[in-house]
Amino acid sequence: MSVVHGIRTLGVLGSGQMGLGIAYVAALRAKVPVLLYDRSAEQIDKGLKLMDKLLAKDVSKGKIQDIEAKEARERLSVVSQEQGLKGLRDADMIVEAVSENLSLKQKIFSSLSSECRPDAILASNTSSISITKIAASTIPEGQSAASELGKQSAARVVGLHFFNPVPVMKLVELISALQTSTDTLERSRAFAIACGKEVTVSKDVPGFVSNALLMPFINEAIMWLEKGVATKEDIDKTLKLGMNHPMGPLQLADFIGLDTCLAIQQTLYQGTGDSKYRPSVLLERMVDAQWYGRKNGKGFYEYPDA
């Protein structure tokens, strides 16, 4: 028997490319009202413009009707800065999509746990950070991990890992923390399916299945560029045309964001202690130079429209 996700309202925390993409598929495909929160009003503005652009593009391509776009847009509302996280109180599930920083995520989940409904599913779109560590940060003050309240709070935390661009990529990787309950996992799976996605499940290991396999591949390609084995164009062309990848590894690194790639690679390196995951020096230097890829106009390639 299929599980009902029971999400009547979704909260999305972070309106960057991932958060907005998640809001988009939830509002359009799962037809769920979405409360969008970001601490930057400027980023919210950018996110809403992107939502309008994506809906208009889908209408112009005949993928959706005008009325569907209008209804999806009406399902999206913005939480005010004054309300802050309290504005997500009505949500049955909250998906966090902020930058890859463990202490930031722990702070956010600790606040979500005290500000939001005690039965709301708390999901992280993290690319590699331990869901078990994030779940532990939701234990209410004064409670232990073994107390009923401590167990209940951590049991509703799950990894819900979407891929970029969210409207196009067909996968959601579910990550089960040590504490995640079967109910949380199955309702999250049902919700991802309602968003039009296929689902895989990974244990909570550094990088999960997806990034533990993808990032070393990207990191290795950067090392080959560093060693001067081939030009960046030829490295990308080899994988694109030789292996039918939609993008070469350096193009893909720019697309994901070099800061995000470095953060994931560092998590793999620190989490396993295995030197094979050491980030490439060139990747570190590019991030030092604030060359973050497509999002800010310069990475391995240049993006004048960023």
User: Is 107 part of any known ligand binding site?
Assistant: no
Nearer to ligand 3HC, 64 or 116 (CB): 64
The Cα 278–Cα 292 span in angstroms is 19
- Give the interface with ligand 3HC as residue ranges (CB under 6 A): 54, 61, 127, 163-165, 167-169, 211, 246-247, 252, 256, 260
Give backbone dihedrals phi and psi of 109, rounded to 5 degrees, phi first.
-70, -35
User: Is 219 part of any known ligand binding site?
Assistant: no
User: Is 101 part of any known ligand binding site?
Assistant: no
Rounded to a whole number of angstroms, the minimum distance from the CB of residue 104 to ligand 3HC is 16
Rounded to a whole number of angstroms, the minimum distance from the CB of residue 294 to ligand 3HC is 10
Q: Is the Cα dihedral 79, 83, 84, 85 positive or negative?
A: negative
Rounded to a whole number of angstroms, the minimum distance from the CB of residue 228 to ligand 3HC is 26
Element (H, E) at 215: helix 208-226
Residue type, 165: P
User: Is 234 part of any known ligand binding site?
Assistant: no
CA distances from 24 to 47, 111, 142, 273, 283 (A): 10, 25, 38, 38, 31
Strand order in the sheet with 171-176: 76-78, 34-37, 10-13, 93-96, 121-124, 157-162, 171-176, 198-203
Nearer to ligand 3HC, 28 or 54 (CB): 54
Which residue, 169, 172, 160, is CA-closest to 204?
160
Token readout for 242 is 């030789």
Rounded to a whole number of angstroms, the minimum distance from the CB of residue 8 to ligand 3HC is 26
Nearer to ligand 3HC, 42 or 61 (CB): 61
Catalytic residues: 127, 161, 173, 211
Nearer to ligand 3HC, 38 or 236 (CB): 236
User: Is 164 part of any known ligand binding site?
Assistant: yes
User: Is 100 part of any known ligand binding site?
Assistant: yes
User: Is 276 part of any known ligand binding site?
Assistant: no
Which residue, 105, 108, 78, is CA-closest to 15?
78
Rounded to a whole number of angstroms, the minimum distance from the CB of residue 221 to ligand 3HC is 13
Q: Which residues have a Cβ under 8 Å from the Cβ of 142 and sit 6 or more positions away? A: none
The Cα 265–Cα 256 span in angstroms is 13
Which residue, 152, 158, 50, is CA-closest to 96?
158
Query: Measured at the alpha carbon of residue 210, what is the angle toward residues 152 and 251, in degrees to the nearest 5?
Result: 135
Nearer to ligand 3HC, 130 or 260 (CB): 260
Rounded to a whole number of angstroms, the minimum distance from the CB of residue 260 to ligand 3HC is 6
Nearer to ligand 3HC, 10 or 258 (CB): 258
Residue in the block written with tokens 């939001």 = 116
Q: Which residues are annotated as a binding site?
A: 14-19, 38, 100, 105, 127, 164, 295
Q: Which residues are annotated as a binding site for NAD(+)?
A: 14-19, 38, 100, 105, 127, 164, 295
